[in-house]
């Protein structure tokens, strides 16, 4: 076959470049090529209690997002045993300047200790408001109350996350433990903290919501 050259090849290359430009996304983290800096602010479910560091939720989530082409870094700001009050107290140093977004997962320990849901609500909303004041978007990862705490407590606790998300126009993942809660094989011996396989399932289920959150962000 005769090798083509000259004006014809110039036209072919120009058409190929134009087609590539039409196919490629024009905005968002994939196209911008800049790193999105996220912080996962939470308790032991974020920290990776009982697991090696590479199996913790933020690390597994970052790995999954990178596999899909997102240029992200997720800092693990999870502290085992932390309540919403503890997260509020350490907010400023847990979320440094330059953070593009926060995945907020707090409240499970409040519930397990039977703390007043009104206090949990106030703390989580204050965290959201303080981050919004810094122009840092928030994604809420919610929690449901254990049914043995009674219908009244559960009713007051379960609405915390959806109410705050609606009020502040936040991306919401209603139940962080969706898919693994109550599954013995996916939780450690305490029945409360996920195994490495459990974390993988959490990430697989939450990933579309995180992608929706990323679509709102602008790298700084």
Name the active-site residue from 37, 43, 44, 84: 44
* Per annotation, catalytic residue among 100, 189, 193, 212: 193
**In the Cβ-directed half-sphere of 173, how many Cα atoms lie within 13 Å?**
25
* Res 207: pLDDT: 98
Whether residue 25 is predicted with pLDDT greater than 50 in this model: the reply is no
Q: Are 78 and 141 in contact (CB under 8 A)?
A: no
Q: What is the pLDDT of residues 109-126, one digit of tens each?
A: 999 999 999 999 999 999
Q: Is 44 a catalytic residue?
A: yes
Question: Average of pLDDT values for 41-63?
Answer: 98
CA distances from 8 to 2, 14, 15, 19, 22 (A): 13, 10, 11, 17, 21
Mean pLDDT for the stretch of residues 26-39: 68
Output the pLDDT for position 92.
96
Mean pLDDT within 82-89 = 98
Active-site option among 27, 152, 190, 212:
190
Which of 109, 130, 127, 110 shows the shortest CA–CA distance to 119?
Answer: 110
Residue 105, strand partner residues: 42
In this structure, the strands spanning 72-78 and 101-105 are unpaired
């Amino acid at each position: 076959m005769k090798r083509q050259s000259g004006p014809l090849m110039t036209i072919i290359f120009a058409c190929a470049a134009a087609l590539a430009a039409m196919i490629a996304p024009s905005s968002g983290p994939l196209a911008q090529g800049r790193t999105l800096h996220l912080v996962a602010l939470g308790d032991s479910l974020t920290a990776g209690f009982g697991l090696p560091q590479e199996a913790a939720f933020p690390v597994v989530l970052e790995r999954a997002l990178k596999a899909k082409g997102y240029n992200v870094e997720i800092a693990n700001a999870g502290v085992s045993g932390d309540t919403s009050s503890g997260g509020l107290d350490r907010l400023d140093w847990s979320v440094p300047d330059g953070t593009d977004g926060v995945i907020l997962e707090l409240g499970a320990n409040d519930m397990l200790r039977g703390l007043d849901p009104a206090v949990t609500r106030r703390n989580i909303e204050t965290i959201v408001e303080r981050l919004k004041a810094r122009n840092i978007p928030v994604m809420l990862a919610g929690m449901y109350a254990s049914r043995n705490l009674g219908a009244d407590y559960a009713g007051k606790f379960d609405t915390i996350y959806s109410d705050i998300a609606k009020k502040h126009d936040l991306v919401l993942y209603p139940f962080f433990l969706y898919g693994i809660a109550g599954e013995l094989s996916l939780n450690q011996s305490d029945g409360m903290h996920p195994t490495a396989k459990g974390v993988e399932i959490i990430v697989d289920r939450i990933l579309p919501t995180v992608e929706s959150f990323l679509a709102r962000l602008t790298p700084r």
